[in-house]
Structure 1
Amino acid sequence: MHQNFKLKDKAVNANIFSPIEIAGLTVRHRIAMAPLTRSRAGQPGNVPTTMNVEYYRQRAGAGLIITEATQISQQAQGYAWTPGIYTPEQIAGWLEVSKAVHEEGGVIFQQLWHVGRVSHPSFQPNGGLPVAPTTMPVPGKTFIVDETGKGVWGEIPEPQELTTSGIKTIIADYVTASRNAIAAGMDGVEIHAGNGYLLDQFINSNSNHRMDEYGGSTENRARLLLEVTDAISKEIGASRVGVRLTPMGRFMGMGDDTPEETFGYIAEELSKRSLAYLHLVEPEIVGTVLDENYDPRWDSIMKLLRERFKGPLILAGGFTYEKAQAAIAEGRGDVIAFGRLFIANPDLPDRLRTRAPLNEPDSSTFFGGDSRGYVDYPALIHAAAETGAGNG
């Protein structure tokens, strides 16, 4: 994969420890913390807690933190115990997070999320059906709370098709959420338009069979993403807005008949808007696991998107230190986002810089639970103290 990809002119002799400017801010290096759903928001109300504050503070050594996906409304929620950014309590909770990150010299963007059809009536207003571009079965499960209060994987019902007025309401919810994120001290927002969630459902032909202005042609299927991007940019400024895409992703039934045309068009349109960055997830990752059955067209699509989008490009998807350095050196991307490695290594940039051993993540604690597997992974200084390393 990527064997023949060379864009040296984009790299400017950079490596992952070189600074870069994003959203008018100097980001101290190119190691970003990817958005990571952990299902540990405080209840009731899906509000960030002091434990969440500590989690982000520990990882503020990232060049850029992109928060876990944060629902823009009650309708937007699809998983148990995920945080929102639509109530005063949630805004206040996130403000404590941003303060902690900024006190450590970090930069933090809020990822804005509407899951669309990947939801359950238990999360929806008045117990209604989840919403989608098209009414059709959803191949997947979501994380719900059972009658005993335990988190379990539950079946997703067939969703209801969004009306045009419903779409306009969702755009307004995105705008409000972006305004709330800035009020919560965030440096910017990332629009989550990938991983099989609402905006991705509109983009991909597999999940969008509409016959109105939001379906059919490439331009129509991209319309909602671009309208959301423009509305948020008008509210908080385009330079504070990033977008995340998963071209050729297959999670939750995604797929597109003409991915080169679809995502090439989107990248070109986003480039016109002078955004903070474009964030692409490489298709080696499906959901949370590695997938070796990726489509071989990915390399050519990656090159196309790199050429079409002129701003900073963030890449994510199972990167190691070596792969990250190569991606920067070859010019495939400008910043590399790490996910699972940041879960287990709160001081990941220091470990990569010194080539120190890495903690292994415990996947059984990824979703839900308490401090275990969340804020108790040791940093280098603590690990050295516990083992007596560096003494005498």
Structure 2
Amino acid sequence: MPTLFDSYRLGDLVLPNRVVMAPMTRVRAAPGGLATPSMATYYAQRASAGLIVTEGVQPNRVGQSGPGTPGLYTAEQVAAWRPLTAAVHANGGRIFAQLMHGGRVSHPDTTGLVPVGPSAVPAVGDVFTPTGPRPAPPPRALETHEVPEQARSYATAARHAVDAGFDGVELHGANGYLISQFLSANANLRTDRYGGSVPNRIRFAVEAVAATVEAVGAARTGIRLSPGGTFWGVRETEVPALYTALLTELARLRVAYVHLEATVDEPVLVALRRAWPGALVMNPVLPMGPRQTGRGEADHWLGLGADLVSFGRAFIANPDLVERLRNALPIAPVDEATFYQGGDSGYLTYPTYRYRMGS
């Protein structure tokens, strides 16, 4: 069985270890969706990860889910990312941009636009806006001829990401956002070729990935999925069949990796591992659930066939997480109050273990 600290070849990259920094929303972008010097420092501090996946980055204006998130659809945004990717590479790291289209999980107060989705069914819960949480509004159902444009938005953003210096991109197909909404049986009530049957419900995901692969290459393209997840009120039916069909199509496209979340029972996840012939990144615990991923969960999933393991919240408070895991050092707790507050406190202020011990 491989260890968490063995190297791994992912596409054209050689990762020095199998620890992945999972994408986590931090809402520190400047107006206009611009990356900032503080963001560059934050990611560069964590460059010892085998791979960093950024927070969700909107591929177009209507795809922005909440305020304070970065984009990759304007020349100014591309230019703002370049110092960040350069800083990560200067520290020896590798970094993918996560492309996240919020779909119905958005608000006109944030974007100035009515959110779009597969059907005119609102998300469950309050969405973040510049003036605080607001009930999710009903989205505008995309016309059939409009759907391919939204699929292509991921590919356009991927080209911008490579131009900005990223090593690749991860499409956010999880957690109730646009790709996940098309996979859903209750957010997607369509009767055209994008709704109803399993082949129709996976079509948008496949088209988005295929366009991205054509744009930047399969070796630079990954996707994150949350089988059976219920984020923002989505509900999926026929989960094993749905995801087996999707993984079969992704295998034909030869994408660099699939990133699975532990949102369904372990036997289903193990069966999906067997159905997927490529590299698997496993997020072993429910995102934002009561537990954080630790060494035990990581080793468990390496034993079940995962190639890489993603860590989320532990990376916030432990910029040197790889070293702490390697040497069984204490994992510092995270201050949840600073997750989304903006500023550098709770963002750049977590020290490494040696520094904290005063040595």
| TM-score category, normalised to shorter length | over 0.9
Please name the residue that 2:12 is paired with: 24
- Which letter maps to 1:312? A
Please name the residue that 1:10 is paired with: none
Q: Over residues 186-223 of structure 1, what are the superposed CA-to-partner deviations in whole Å (9 max), with x where a residue is unaligned?
A: 11110110100000000111211100000011000100
CA apart distance, 1:123: 2.5
SS in 1 for 2:357: helix
SS in 2 for 1:242: strand
Please name the residue that 1:42 is paired with: 30
Please name the residue that 2:276 is paired with: 309
- Which letter maps to 1:309? W
Please name the residue that 1:335 is paired with: 308
2:322 pairs with 1:349:
yes
Task: Give runs of aligned pairs for residues 156-305 of structure 1, distance below 5 A.
Answer: 156-283=136-263, 298-305=265-272
* 1:116 and 1:197 in contact (8 A); partners too: yes
2:117 pairs with 1:144:
no
Q: How many residues align?
A: 352
Q: Over residues 344-379 of structure 1, what are the superposed CA-to-partner deviations in whole Å (9 max), with x where a residue is unaligned?
A: 100100011111111110000101321000010011
SS in 1 for 2:9: strand
Give the TM-score, by structure 2 length.
0.96
**Following superposition, which runs of at least 4 residues in structure 1 exceed 6 angstroms of deviation?**
none
The structure number with the bigger radius of gyration is 1
Please name the residue that 1:320 is paired with: 294
Task: Give runs of aligned pairs for residues 50-65 of structure 1, distance below 5 A.
Answer: 50-65=37-52
Please name the residue that 1:98 is paired with: 85
* 1:15 and 1:329 in contact (8 A); partners too: no
SS in 1 for 2:109: coil
2:341 to 368, 371, 376: 368
SS in 1 for 2:29: coil
Query: What CA distance in whole angstroms lies between the structure 1 residues aligned with 2:114 and 2:75?
Result: 26
1:378 to 342, 346, 351: 351
Query: What CA distance in whole angstroms lies between the structure 2 residues aligned with 1:329 and 1:383?
Result: 33
SS in 1 for 2:228: coil
RMSD of the alignment, in Å? Answer: 1.1
- Which letter maps to 1:308? A
Please name the residue that 2:59 is paired with: 72
SS in 2 for 1:145: coil
Q: Over residues 40-72 of structure 1, what are the superposed CA-to-partner deviations in whole Å (9 max), with x where a residue is unaligned?
A: 1012x1101100000001010110000110000
CA apart distance, 1:319: 1.7
For structure 1, the residue ranges without an aligned partner over 5 or more in a row are 1-12, 147-151, 284-294
2:95 pairs with 1:108:
yes
* 2:62 and 2:113 in contact (8 A); partners too: no
* 1:81 and 1:368 in contact (8 A); partners too: no
Percent of residue pairs bearing the same amino acid type: 39
CA apart distance, 1:330: 3.2
* 1:271 and 1:308 in contact (8 A); partners too: no
Query: What CA distance in whole angstroms lies between the structure 1 residues aligned with 2:83 and 2:147?
Result: 32
Give the TM-score, by structure 1 length.
0.88
CA apart distance, 1:168: 2.1
Q: Over residues 101-122 of structure 1, what are the superposed CA-to-partner deviations in whole Å (9 max), with x where a residue is unaligned?
A: 1111111111011000000012
CA apart distance, 1:326: 1.8
